[in-house]
Amino acid sequence: MSSHPGKTLETFPNPKPGRDYHIHMEIPEFTCLCPKTGQPDFATLILDYIADEKCVELKSLKLYVWSFRNEGHFHEDVTNRILDDLVAATQPRFMRLTAKFYVRGGIFTNVVAEHRKPGWQPPPLVDLARFETQSNTRG
């Protein structure tokens, strides 16, 4: 059975919608074309999000990312477009997309775009390293 690129992002119900938990994905094979030269641009996409009611399904994400392979996009445009499409599909509490483009002409480009659901605040960070340091200094 062959797979074909597509713009459809499928979702599934969040198995723990009452809990804020971090979903982290790294997509090291993103490609699109430079809209000026037509040459390929390569990037690693890093997706971090806190789901609300829906999570993105991985196979559809893979096919969605693949769909940009023959399209011309500026780095800033494609990063924001992908974030917008993922937000529209999943309606997360928080989502950050980092696009780390490989060197072109001696320049690395990183584009970071974020979405935060209105009213959502992250819980306070628990710094376990601080507790480990304190326990190691006690007699």
Domain residue spans in the chain? 11-137
Q: For position 124, what pLDDT does the model report?
A: 87
Lowest mean pLDDT among 21-25, 27-31, 48-52, 131-135: 131-135
Q: Is 77 a catalytic residue?
A: no
82-105: pLDDT as tens digits: 999 999 999 999 999 999 999 888
Strand 94-104 to strand 54-56: parallel, antiparallel, or no bridges (unpaired)?
A: unpaired
Average per-residue pLDDT in the chain? Answer: 92
Q: For position 1, what pLDDT does the model report?
A: 44
Catalytic residue among 34, 48, 52, 85: 34
Q: What is the CATH number of domain 11-137?
A: 3.30.1130.10
Cα–Cα distance for residue pair 19/99, rounded to 1 Å = 27
Is residue 56 predicted with pLDDT exceeding 80? yes
Cα–Cα distance for residue pair 119/114, rounded to 1 Å = 15
Catalytic residue among 20, 32, 41, 127: 41
Q: Is 34 a catalytic residue?
A: yes
pTM reported for the whole predicted model: 0.88
